[in-house]
Amino acid sequence: MSHEPRLVEVRKNILKQNDLNARELRRRFHEAGVFVVSLVSSPGAGKTTLLEKTLAALVSRYRVAALVGDLATENDAARLARSGALVRQITTGTVCHLEAAMVQQGLDGWEMDRLDFLFVENVGNLVCPASYDLGESLRFVAVSVTEGEDKPLKYPTIFNTADVALITKVDLAEAVGFDAAAALASVQSVRPGMKVLQVSAKTGQGMDDFLQLLEGGLHAARSGAAAGVAP
Amino acid sequence: MHELSIALSLVDLAREEAEKHGGRVCALHVRIGALAGVVPEALLASYEMASADTPLEGSRLVIEDVPVVVYCPECRAERALSSVQVFCCAECGTPTGQIQQGRELELVALELES
């Protein structure tokens, strides 16, 4: 039968183009010595407030920029720009996650070697961002105390793509009866050894540890050491 | 729902590969890991939309689910995970996050007709 289909082996990553773009970004960031931190969480977990406080704390000592993903509005960028940091909104339209190409476009015209930190706030979503490498040095996944202790069990994939977990809004923990031990156990169940920080951007609780981790990461990256965080 | 984005990437990749080899694509074989962040049913539905009005229209998408396999440092062996909620060795219970398999999002092969 001459019309019998023939099987041709491909063995390529479906998101090959995104991975190539992410690799290119990582090379650019590494060459410029910029430490790139991304944040993923569900909508309303407090990414923007955390970032607002982080930019305010770092901007006097470091050169800081932020890219903020959002489906429709530019409100987050306007809020963050008040810190004095360089801020740009990536409006994704109907796309529920950031892709490496959107980060590349977002950086257009920015000189990387004039930066120490670049923050990338993903679109609020704990599912889709898991599939896309953005070339970042460190990825945080944030869950707030109001979301319940079992959030990691519901979204194990995103926890397995992030480097560090953040429990946010810990100032509300008592009011909502948040069981920190149960939440930590959930994280460890889906990602044994994962580092977890508990923070409140509102009261400042845990912010020193968070900032120290960022500064440590920058210095490690600059001294040529691997940017990964020991569990 | 990012399966449509993934389906569009799949169409691009498959077209590129099919051009190299020549012929019309009648089926695509992909492997999707349990930790790839992709729902196979959603990918199937999205693929139909993404491939419409392209040379891939009407081709079959064949999905192989890939379970998570971890390395157990205690047993010094690879173990299938019983649940993605519990990253422990299924034999001895030692917690482990050393993922050996399960993140795949791969176009394995094309069936081409000349």
pLDDT tens column, A41-81: 999 999 999 999 999 999 999 999 999 998 888 888 889 99
Residues of A in contact with B10 (CB under 8 A): 14
| Residue in chain A lying closest to B108 (CA) | A11
| Residue-level pLDDT at A222 | 87
Torsion sign over Cα B47, B12, A69, A189: positive
Give, rounded to a whole angstrom, the gap between the first and last alpha carbons of chain A: 58
Burial degree of A5 (CB within 10 A; 0-12, 13-18, 19+): middle
Mean pLDDT of chain B: 96
Q: Domain containing A74: what range?
A: 20-217
Torsion sign over Cα A44, A45, A51, A53: positive
Whether the CB of B112 is below 8 Å from some CB of chain A: the reply is yes
A138-144: strand order across its sheet: A86-91, A64-70, A117-121, A35-41, A138-144, A164-168, A195-198
CB-CB under 8 Å, A6 with B23: yes
The whole-angstrom separation of Cα B84 and Cα B34 is 8
Closest by Cα among A196, A192, A193, A188 to A141: A196
Note the ipTM here.
0.92
Domain annotation covers residue A13:
no
Domain annotation covers residue A186:
yes
CATH of the domain at B80: 3.30.2320.80
Please count the structural domains in chain A.
Answer: 1
Span B45-52, mean pLDDT? 97
The whole-angstrom separation of Cα A103 and Cα A10 is 28
CATH of the domain at A130: 3.40.50.300
Q: Domain containing B60: what range?
A: 3-113
CB A200 within 8 A of CB A174: no
CB-CB under 8 Å, B109 with A8: yes
| Residue-level pLDDT at A95 | 83
Residues 66-85 of B with CB under 8 A from A: 84-85
Which of A5, A14, A156 lies nearest to residue B10, judging by beta carbons?
A14
pLDDT tens sequence across A171-190 = 999 999 999 999 999 999 99
Residues of B in contact with A18 (CB under 8 A): 9
Please count the structural domains in chain B.
Answer: 1
The whole-angstrom separation of Cα B37 and Cα B40 is 10
Residue with tokens 């004039």: A114
Domain annotation covers residue A14:
no
Tens-digit pLDDT string for chain A (231 aa): 557 899 999 999 999 999 999 999 999 999 999 999 999 999 999 999 999 999 999 999 999 999 999 888 888 888 999 999 999 999 888 788 999 999 999 999 999 999 999 999 999 999 999 999 999 999 999 999 999 999 999 999 999 999 999 999 999 999 999 999 999 999 999 999 999 999 999 999 999 999 999 999 999 988 864 444 443
CB-CB under 8 Å, B86 with A189: yes
Residue with tokens 């909104």: A89
What are the angstrom distances between the C-alpha of A34 and each of A20, A29, A107, A214, B109?
19, 5, 13, 12, 39
Q: Which residues pair with B67 in a beta bridge?
A: none
**Cβ-count burial A36-57 (b if 16+ within 10 Å, e if not):** bbbbbbbeebbbbbbbbbbbeb
Whether the CB of B30 is below 8 Å from some CB of chain A: the reply is yes
Higher per-residue pLDDT: A75 or B32: B32
Residues of A in contact with B9 (CB under 8 A): 14-18
Domain annotation covers residue A57:
yes
| Residue-level pLDDT at A2 | 56
Domain annotation covers residue A31:
yes
| Residue-level pLDDT at B87 | 97
